[in-house]
A and B are shown apart, each in its own frame.
Chain A
Amino acid sequence: MTVEATARTYTITGPEPELWYRDLISCLQATCGSMLAREGADPLAVLGAGWQFLHLPGDVRSEEFYYPCVEGQLGRALAPHHDLSARWWQPADEGDVWREVRERLADDRLVIAAVDNFHLPFRPAYGDVHAAHLVVIYGLDETRGVVHVSDAMPPAFRGAVPIEEFLRSWGSANPTDAQDAFFSDSEIGRRCLDVSLGAQPASLTPELLGGYLRTDIEGFTTETSARTGLAGYDAFVGELMERCRAGDTGVLRDLYPFGWAMQAQASLHGELLRRCGRDWDDAVLAGAGRAVETVAHAWTGLRFTGAHGHGDPRAVAPDIEHHATLLRAAYARAVDAVVAAAARL
């Protein structure tokens, strides 16, 4: 139930949304984590349960919250072992863009909204840099003219934003910005994301986690027609190197947001495995978690080599190849470690 103070004031019941954050995640995992926490689930156990590699050529968008997935399957991509639904929508009525937000808040549901940091007063990029980002809306007070927004990404913020400023951010064209080649030039278009958990996750047991790991390993070691698993990684790197050597700046612009998705996922999966390894006194499982975290850390070298060198892909190609090789080795070691851990569960 919501508290409807006036006909134009809507807010969720209970406490403000939890600021769920890890230093390698993006606003996508942070906002989904807040939603999951409010639904009584452990965000790490849901968002960290799965681990995969998927690259979709031509699909990458310059947004902090880009995540590769089959059309309409974002929830499944984020949490392949849980009944998580994530669906994008936009206001249906240009004459009343808040209608759906009101409905969801009235139904005691949080709303995840895409925004342009340039127009949000609490973001460091305010008035400076255009960048596509996600925040959680947990209240709308049209009487006072404010939207209540939560954002776990540093500097964490929970509070009121003037509706007019929020509307500029939510409806921004997010134009090309030389200061941010990776998250600008992607229209925000008042997009929102509905995230919901169908069934409450079962308690995580060694047997359950073992099943997850075996499924993920199959994904890593089985070739498919898509760029999945280790073979998919090799295909991705093959294209990356070819386009770098050809001087294609677009490939390094895409590498940063795409790599963030893979890095965030690996970091959460690794952390979950380490936590379970500690809780269940299973050193092999903890070690497998650490090996998966090494994958996340190796993504840093590749992503930032590309980011610093994105203006001159030919010049940076040898270093890109170097880090792609290190990352491939990290993936191989981690898969091996997870196989060993799964065999014991």
Chain B
Amino acid sequence: MIIRNVNGTAIRAGKVIGAWAERMTDGPTLGTPGLLRLEMVLSEAGNLTENLVPSTRSAWHQKKVLRDACDVMEASVFPVRSGLCETVDISGHRNNTAVSAATETKAGEFNVWRNSFAAEYLPAGGSLVHVDGVPFRFPPLCEGPDNVRCAGQFIRVPEGHYDWIHVLAASERRSEDTVQLNFADGSVDAEALRVSDFWAAPAWFGEIKAFESLVMHYPHHVQRGIPAVMWAQRIPVTRRTGLTGILLPRNVAVHVFALTLQRTES
């Protein structure tokens, strides 16, 4: 992740913190130089320094503090890209339940085999989540449909000039289809929507792994060893005019959990 300070200078604080945090898996503590550097970076960011004072507590605790700091920084500290983003309300289009509770795995039906993501591994339903600096409104979980299984739905968006449509999505097997972008001046463009398989698969299209359920829910049991993955993908808006709507593909394999528009930087 990349954090920017008040002057707009890119600081790879998140990556630094992430790497240190990972190293702590094997080591008992951070080295003093590392902590000093971390404090400096966080000072620049202007927040959270107090949470990262060298601690005598366990490696696990330090790691958790660092990870929390990363999350909070990414979500709320000078998120330049975040400031350009608007989440899109797709609640009226949700038509599929992809996430289930361990106590009611039968409720899920992401794919034709009725497998589903495990709710316990995912963010809280309805929460604002950030993936690589992009905010998404995570759908409500275990309260009915939580995603849009693509069937040609037309999603109206606030008219505006955008560079990217960010998508939180997953697919039954790798999918490559098109979305149609409708503009205020009557022009229409088709752009690719590429989504990798949710089933223990790599990011074939170069997406970011947004969330991962480490177990797969089956109708009658919880399966270890098969993760279910939700991807953060993006679609370019190349036309420099006002976007008004997005027509999803007619493709039942593709599931959209959240949409966010990124405005053109003025």
A contact set with B: CB distance below 8 Å: 23-24, 124, 128, 154-156, 179-180, 263, 267, 294, 296-298, 300-301, 303-305, 307-308, 319, 322-323, 326
Contacts and interface: CB of A to CB of B under 8 A. Distances in A.
B252 A23 contact: no
B225 A300 contact: no
B174 A128 contact: no
A300 B197 CA distance: 10
A124 B216 contact: yes
A308 B200 CA distance: 21
Interface string B211-225: 000001011110111
B257 interface: no
Nearest to A181: B112
A263 B173 CA distance: 11
Contacts of A155: 200, 223-226
B71 interface: no
Interface in B170-201: 171-177, 194, 196-197, 199-201
Contacts of B196: 23
Given A297-B175, A304-B173, 16 more contacts: A23-B204, A24-B197, A124-B221, A128-B218, A128-B221, A154-B225, A155-B224, A180-B113, A300-B253, A304-B172, A304-B252, A305-B252, A307-B112, A308-B112, A319-B250, A323-B251
Contacts of B197: 23-24
B123 interface: no
Nearest 10 pairs of A and B residues by beta carbon:
A155-B225, A297-B176, A23-B201, A154-B200, A304-B253, A300-B173, A307-B112, A124-B223, A154-B226, A300-B175
Given A154-B200, A297-B174, A304 B112 contact: yes
Contacts of A305: 251-253
Given A155-B226, A298-B176, A308 B252 contact: yes
A322 B250 contact: yes
Interface of B: 112-113, 171-177, 194, 196-197, 199-202, 204, 216, 218-221, 223-226, 250-253
B173 A154 contact: no
Contacts of B253: 300-301, 304-305
B226 A24 contact: no
A23 B173 CA distance: 8
21 contacts: A23-B199, A24-B173, A24-B174, A124-B226, A128-B221, A156-B225, A179-B219, A180-B113, A297-B175, A297-B176, A300-B171, A300-B172, A300-B174, A300-B251, A300-B253, A301-B175, A303-B173, A305-B253, A308-B112, A319-B250, A322-B250
Contacts of B250: 319, 322
Contacts of A303: 173
Contacts of B223: 124, 155
Contacts of A323: 251
A295 B199 CA distance: 20
Contacts of B216: 124
B202 A23 contact: yes
Contact of B177 (A24, A124, A263, A301): A301
A263 B176 CA distance: 13
A343 B200 CA distance: 38
A23 B112 contact: no
A179 B219 CA distance: 10
B86 to A, nearest CB: 30
A170 B181 CA distance: 52
Contacts of A128: 218, 220-221
A304 B111 CA distance: 9
Nearest to A263: B173
B263 to A, nearest CB: 30
A304 B216 CA distance: 19
B139 to A, nearest CB: 21
A67 B194 CA distance: 27
A308 B150 CA distance: 13
Nearest to A322: B250
Contacts of B224: 155
Nearest to B216: A124
A128 B123 CA distance: 30
Contacts of B225: 154-156
B174 A296 contact: yes
B204 to A, nearest CB: 7
Contacts of B200: 23, 154-155
Contacts of A300: 171-176, 251, 253
A270 B223 CA distance: 32
A180 B226 CA distance: 19
A323 B177 CA distance: 10
Contacts of A179: 113, 219
